[in-house]
Amino acid sequence: MRWFLIFFITVYLSLHYYIFYRISNDFRFSHGAAMWFLLAVSFLAFFGIVSQFFLYRHVSGFGFAVETAYIWLGLLSITVTFLLLGNIMFLFFKSPQAKFYITSAALIFSVITAAYSYINVKINSPVMKNISINVNGLDGKFKIVQLSDVHINSFTKKEEIKNIISKVNTLEPDAVVITGDLADSDLTFNYKDYGLDAIRSKYGVFVISGNHEYYRGIEKFENFIANSGFTLLDNKNALVNDSVYFAGISDYRESKRFNQNVYDFKKAFENVDFSKPVVFLSHQPEAFKEASKYPFALQLSGHTHAGQIPPFDIIEKIMFKHFYGLYDEGVGRYVYVTSGTRWWGPAMRLFIKSEIVLITLYGK
């Protein structure tokens, strides 16, 4: 974790310096103007670090400051992306005047993109998504609602989570699965404040851990699940209504790094009858490669957030074979990676909205 923080802060500060360097040079600031601009950029960088690493975790009542810092982080990422694209234009247009106009256009597009991404999250989100899949070994149909990457923290509005749960309940699912990163805070004693106890499904709520459960303390997460009455499927499985198995693993990366309840495919699929449809739950979609030796019908994952904003949408699409959406892996096997029920970091999404996913399994 220490090395990750060092890496994150180094990259974070480097991006701020890049913005300072590009704008002050392309706009040909005077020495005095450049110093004032450097001071402003330094303040934004400092404000972001204080909000994320101090106010976010240790001080209540600063929700607006933390959200503002996250918005700046989103705007920073988008702006750097457009400025880097502007560098390509510099290969063809090298005059100082051309650089001024190209950089001006990059900043205008950055602000417009950030504003739209913010609105895209705040209005009519999450959306409802319906998927139908035919599976062997099932009589009739079975309705599953998938939630993922809810990222409840101390600044999350309780009504927002209650609204999500209300939408889930209108779907009347047979089972609800939560594929990791449910919370960024300890919900052991206040999960009812968010209405999590109001989730209704015929056969229960099945949960696995994600990377953020390990960041915030896997023991706290396990205590919360024990209190909530949800079924934790980290390296376990459950047969539901004698018709569908749910098999899950703990987070594919962080459980090993933290060396706590390390993911174990053998335990997850232990004593499973594969003549019945098996739904495999893994927060990280890349677990598919190792899990594919088991003949499950469907993998449900999250984690990628569908990139949310540039440049992460581009980077993650390159990094992940299963980035977002439904993938047909042949031999009657599918993978669905959700964009997430909410978001992490800046409340911004450029192309893809947050979603609640209804998966209906039909027998062949």
Phi, psi of 28 (to 5 degrees): 55, 50
**Cβ within 8 Å of residue 88, ≥6 positions away:** none
Question: Nearest-CA neighbor of 304 among 149, 124, 178?
Answer: 149
Alpha carbon distance 290, 293 (integer Å)? 7
Predicted pLDDT of residue 5: 78
Residues 193 and 58 in one domain: no
The amino acid present at 123, given as its one-letter code, is I
Predicted pLDDT of residue 94: 86
* Percent of all residues in the chain with a pLDDT value above 70, rounded to a whole number: 97
Q: Please, what's the b/e burial string for 301-324 (b: 16 or more CB within 10 A of its CB; e: otherwise)?
A: bbbbbbbbbbebbeebeeebebbb
Q: Which of 122, 153, 182 is the last residue of a domain?
A: 122
Would you state the structure tokens that stand for residue 98, as one six-digit string? Answer: 């051309």
Q: Which of 122, 146, 173 is the last residue of a domain?
A: 122
Mean pLDDT of 36-55: 86
With bands split at pLDDT 50, 70 and 90, how would you rate the model's confidence at 58? low
Residues 182 and 80 in one domain: no
pLDDT digits (tens, 9 = 90+) for 170-219: 999 999 999 999 999 899 999 999 999 999 999 999 999 999 999 989 99
pLDDT digits (tens, 9 = 90+) for 73-97: 999 999 999 999 999 999 898 899 9
The CATH number given to whatever domain includes residue 295 is: 3.60.21.10
With bands split at pLDDT 50, 70 and 90, how would you rate the model's confidence at 60? low
Residues 88 and 144 in one domain: no
Residues 98 and 131 in one domain: no
With bands split at pLDDT 50, 70 and 90, how would you rate the model's confidence at 153? confident
Residues 166 and 290 in one domain: yes
Residues 327 and 224 in one domain: yes
Residues 102 and 131 in one domain: no
Residue 41 pLDDT more than 60? Answer: yes
pTM: 0.93
pLDDT digits (tens, 9 = 90+) for 279-338: 999 999 999 999 999 999 999 999 999 999 999 999 999 999 999 999 999 989 999 999
Q: Please, what's the b/e burial string for 55-73 (b: 16 or more CB within 10 A of its CB; e: otherwise)?
A: bbeeeeebeebbeebbbbb
Q: How many separate domains does the chain show?
A: 2
Domain that holds residue 13: 2-122
Residues 169 and 94 in one domain: no
* Percent of all residues in the chain with a pLDDT value above 90, rounded to a whole number: 85
